[in-house]
């Protein structure tokens, strides 16, 4: 029916066109009154005619020719004549005077219903057309008022996702296996007197697979899966959200056992009474109804609620208490083993080259979520198609990692020679700190090709993934972030604005060391709430939990940490000036260096053949003289070049 209603406007327009054509075809028919016909009958010559005789009138239709007119064309006419015996005799004589023939029509031959329908059809079409337009705009029908309060949960009865499709979260799977057993056979739990958790809250960063894990639970248990977003409950009309919650549980009760999945529950489950102007009544009523449905006067047996959020700190305490969300499952970012498993899952339908090693790819992507890893393989496949390759190569995946982290390369953007030297030494400074500082991250890749907002970047990964970081590791991170700015100071005698992102990161690390981690002379005292939420009204009136004097001491400690790291960074770069120049010159020439090439530069002085002998001092001097950057204060001294030569020769002999 809905399909035909979509064609109704077209049918209406066609009907109007047909009616206009029919009306225009009747435009040549001359309708006369009785007096006009009497005058015309005196001079006109009539052709064939038809008479429809009824009780009161005679309907005459035919054609005539007027001799007084210059044109001899026939004209159709129609006239109603009073039904009398004299008029009937006169009509017969007049119409047959010039050889015309008369046919008598039965007035009852046509159907009365057809005539009535013929008159009503245009009005019916107009009425149906306006009804269609009215309902299409959503303005009519009392059903809209009832549909407005209906829940927007989407039900899937045959979920295809299984645990094998969810990788990198083995512990999280163990936490939800009881839910699957309960949904499959609840009797063995009730016989033991156990109550299965009514709600499971999945907490974790975006893209870690919370939604996918919830669908896998429904798929493994083979039960209906209701999915809804927290924002689907909140509307501008008070009471709508609560009504939708009631309707959702009522619908789910009919399909029990089942799973209700609420994504981004913080949209409706935030703390009540928070905010500068008080809470939102509609959101709070919705939350109150959700609390009642989960553990109130109504017992919704067979319904398991799984919710996901990355902001558990803003949720209402009543929502997190036992009996509602009994269990919290933290879905963290995957470790190296988890990343490899995730890559294997997403590589099932990918055509990878024989040299692609997913374990190496996992090592180069610390901090990537499952969604990021899926995007890396997808970007690699797109690049392979763009390059008209038959398989996805490691070069495609390497470029895909850079795209996911920093965006596509801006190869059309050209540096001036001075800026190119500046960026080369800036990135070389980061690389040298990563190579020479023990606790610093490992250098995987260095490039001066612009990406996103950065003029170049270093891809640095931890030497080993840890859950806890030591103070020396934080200091090494700050020192590494200062490497680019310090290299500019040493080589060019001035600094640029290219280190703004580095300064932002190192400042946050230094402040956390002092205010949160207690890694300063102020002692193990926390001077800040690491989970403070400004948008919650309570934080505006809470104020700082330390005095003005302590704030001054905090600033001094932060500056002390940064100055200490800056001094250490300056020392390392000065002692390794030859290596800094070598990496910078290589970046200036090749623009991108990999981990293997940087290692070869450090060990052998060249990037091509690691088995070749170390370069001589004269070659280093010649290269520095040939590619001296603008405003370079001084090239490497003779002592530095001799020290570099001796060190490289010693490493080769070892």
Q: What is Dmax (Cα atoms) for the chain? A: 142
User: Residue 559 has what pLDDT?
Assistant: 94
Residue 351 labelled as part of a binding site: no
Distance CA 58, CA 299 (A): 83
Distance CA 567, CA 91 (A): 126
Give the residue from 331, 316, 231, 227 showing the smallest Cα distance to 279.
Answer: 316
Compute how many other C-beta atoms are within 10 angstroms of the C-beta atom of residue 204: 21
CB-based contacts of 266, cutoff 8 Å, min separation 6: 230, 309, 311, 312, 314, 315
Rg (CA), the chain: 43
Residue 426 labelled as part of a binding site: yes
Do residues 108 and 240 share a domain?
no
- 471 touches 514 (CB < 8 A): no
Residue 207 labelled as part of a binding site: yes
Q: Which residue has the tokens 């002379």?
A: 521
In a domain, 135, yes or no: no
User: Residue 328 has what pLDDT?
Assistant: 86
Residue finishing a domain among 268, 297, 330: 330
Q: Which residue has the tokens 């798929």?
A: 219
- CATH number for the domain spanning 258: value is 3.40.50.300
Give the residue from 324, 397, 327 showing the smallest Cα distance to 355.
Answer: 397
Do residues 312 and 180 share a domain?
yes
- 543 touches 496 (CB < 8 A): no
Do residues 582 and 636 share a domain?
yes
pTM, two decimal places: 0.64
CB-based contacts of 287, cutoff 8 Å, min separation 6: 268, 269, 270, 272, 316, 319
Do residues 214 and 347 share a domain?
no
Helix/strand/coil (H/E/C) assignment for every residue in 421-450: HHHHHHHHHHHHHHHHCCCCCEEEEEECCC
Do residues 493 and 624 share a domain?
yes
User: Residue 511 has what pLDDT?
Assistant: 92
Distance CA 14, CA 560 (A): 84
**CA–CA distances in Å: residue 245 to residues 23, 74, 201, 279, 286:** 58, 78, 18, 19, 7
First to last CA, the chain: 85
The 8-class DSSP code of residue 82 comes to: E
Residue 186 labelled as part of a binding site: no
What is the domain extent for residue 253? 154-330
Residue 414 labelled as part of a binding site: no
Do residues 508 and 399 share a domain?
no
User: Residue 286 has what pLDDT?
Assistant: 81
- 512 touches 526 (CB < 8 A): no
User: Residue 3 has what pLDDT?
Assistant: 54
Distance CA 631, CA 418 (A): 9
Distance CA 12, CA 276 (A): 56
For the chain, the domain total comes to 4
In a domain, 103, yes or no: yes
User: Residue 135 has what pLDDT?
Assistant: 62
User: Residue 626 has what pLDDT?
Assistant: 47
Burial class from Cβ neighbours inside 10 Å (0-12, 13-18, 19+) for residue 288 reads middle
Residue finishing a domain among 299, 330, 361: 330
In a domain, 487, yes or no: yes
User: Residue 26 has what pLDDT?
Assistant: 47
Do residues 504 and 520 share a domain?
yes
Residue 168 labelled as part of a binding site: no
Distance CA 489, CA 469 (A): 30
Residue finishing a domain among 269, 304, 330: 330
Distance CA 575, CA 487 (A): 12
For 454-482, b/e burial (b = at least 16 CB within 10 A) is bbbbbbbbeeeeeeeeeeebbbbbbbbbb
In a domain, 123, yes or no: no
Residue 544 labelled as part of a binding site: no
List, run by run, the mean pLDDT of 10-residue segments along the chain (654 residues): 57 64 56 82 81 81 78 78 82 77 68 61 72 58 51 76 85 83 79 79 88 88 85 67 82 84 85 57 78 73 85 85 84 87 89 87 86 90 90 88 79 76 89 86 80 73 75 91 92 86 91 90 78 46 68 91 94 91 88 81 72 47 46 46 54 50
Do residues 393 and 454 share a domain?
no
In a domain, 97, yes or no: yes
* Chain centroid to CA 248: 26
Helices (H), ranges, 390-544? 394-406, 417-436, 471-481, 483-492, 500-515, 538-542
- CATH number for the domain spanning 105: value is 3.30.720.210
- CATH number for the domain spanning 517: value is 1.20.58.760
Q: Which residues does the annotation mark as catalytic?
A: 427
Residue 480 labelled as part of a binding site: no
In a domain, 619, yes or no: yes
Residue 205 labelled as part of a binding site: yes
């Amino acid at each position: 029916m809905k399909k035909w209603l979509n064609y109704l406007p077209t049918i209406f327009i066609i009907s109007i066109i047909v009616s206009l054509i029919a009306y225009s075809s009747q435009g040549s028919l001359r309708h006369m009154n009785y007096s006009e016909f009497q005058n015309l009958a005196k001079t006109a010559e009539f052709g064939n005619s038809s008479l429809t005789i009824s009780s009161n009138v005679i309907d005459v239709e035919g054609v005539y020719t007027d001799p007084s007119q210059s044109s001899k064309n026939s004209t159709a006419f129609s006239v109603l004549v009073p039904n009398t015996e004299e008029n009937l005799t006169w009509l017969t004589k007049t119409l047959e005077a010039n050889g015309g023939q008369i046919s008598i029509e039965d007035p009852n031959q046509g159907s009365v219903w057809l005539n009535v329908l013929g008159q009503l059809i245009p009005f019916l079409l107009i009425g149906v057309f306006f009804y269609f337009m009215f309902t299409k705009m959503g303005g009519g029908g009392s059903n809209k008022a009832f549909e407005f309060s209906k829940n927007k949960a989407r039900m899937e009865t045959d979920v295809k996702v299984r645990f094998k499709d969810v990788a990198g979260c083995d512990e999280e799977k163990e936490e939800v296996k009881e839910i699957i057993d309960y949904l499959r056979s609840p009797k063995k739990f009730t016989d033991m007197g156990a109550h299965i958790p009514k709600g499971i809250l999945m907490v974790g960063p975006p893209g870690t697979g919370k939604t996918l894990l919830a669908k896998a639970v429904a798929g493994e248990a083979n039960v209906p899966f209701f999915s809804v977003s927290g924002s689907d409950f909140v509307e501008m009309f008070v009471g709508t959200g609560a009504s939708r919650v009631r309707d959702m549980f009522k619908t789910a009760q009919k399909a029990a056992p089942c799973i209700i999945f609420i994504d981004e529950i913080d949209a409706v489950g935030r703390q009540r009474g928070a905010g500068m102007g008080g809470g939102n009544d509609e959101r709070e009523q919705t939350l109150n109804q959700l609390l009642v449905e989960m553990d109130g006067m109504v017992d919704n047996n067979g319904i398991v609620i799984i919710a996901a959020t990355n902001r558990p700190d803003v949720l209402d305490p009543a929502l997190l208490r036992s009996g509602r969300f009994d269990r919290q499952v933290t879905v963290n970012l995957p470790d190296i083993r988890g990343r490899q498993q995730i890559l294997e899952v997403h590589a099932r339908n990918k055509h990878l080259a024989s040299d692609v090693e997913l374990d190496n790819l996992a090592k180069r992507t610390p901090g990537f979520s499952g969604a990021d890893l899926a995007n890396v393989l997808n970007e690699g496949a797109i690049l392979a198609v763009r390059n008209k390759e038959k398989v996805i190569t490691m070069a495609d995946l390497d470029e895909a990692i850079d795209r996911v982290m920093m965006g596509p390369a801006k190869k059309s953007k050209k540096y001036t020679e001075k800026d190119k030297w500046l960026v080369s030494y800036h990135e070389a400074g980061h690389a040298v700190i990563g190579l020479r500082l023990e606790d610093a991250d490992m250098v995987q890749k260095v490039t001066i090709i612009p990406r996103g907002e950065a003029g170049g970047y270093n891809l640095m990964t931890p030497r080993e993934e840890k859950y806890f970081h030591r103070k020396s590791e934080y200091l090494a991170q700050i020192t590494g972030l200062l490497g680019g700015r310090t290299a500019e100071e040493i080589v060019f005698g001035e600094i640029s604005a290219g280190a703004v992102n580095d300064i932002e990161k190192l400042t946050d690390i230094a402040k956390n060391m002092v205010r949160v981690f207690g890694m300063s002379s102020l002692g193990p005292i926390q001077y800040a709430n690491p989970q403070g939420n400004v948008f919650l009204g309570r934080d505006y009136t809470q104020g700082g939990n330390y005095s003005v004097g302590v704030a001054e001491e905090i600033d001094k400690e932060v500056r002390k940490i940064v100055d200490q790291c800056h001094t250490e960074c300056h020392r390392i770069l000065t002692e390794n000036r030859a290596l800094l120049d070598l990496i910078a010159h290589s970046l200036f020439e090749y623009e991108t260096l990999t981990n293997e090439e940087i290692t070869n530069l450090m060990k052998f002085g060249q990037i091509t053949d690691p088995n070749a002998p170390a370069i001589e001092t004269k070659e280093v001097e010649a290269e520095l003289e040939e590619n001296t950057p603008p405003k370079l204060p001084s090239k490497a001294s003779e002592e530095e070049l001799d020290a570099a030569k001796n060190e490289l020769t010693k490493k080769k002999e070892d």
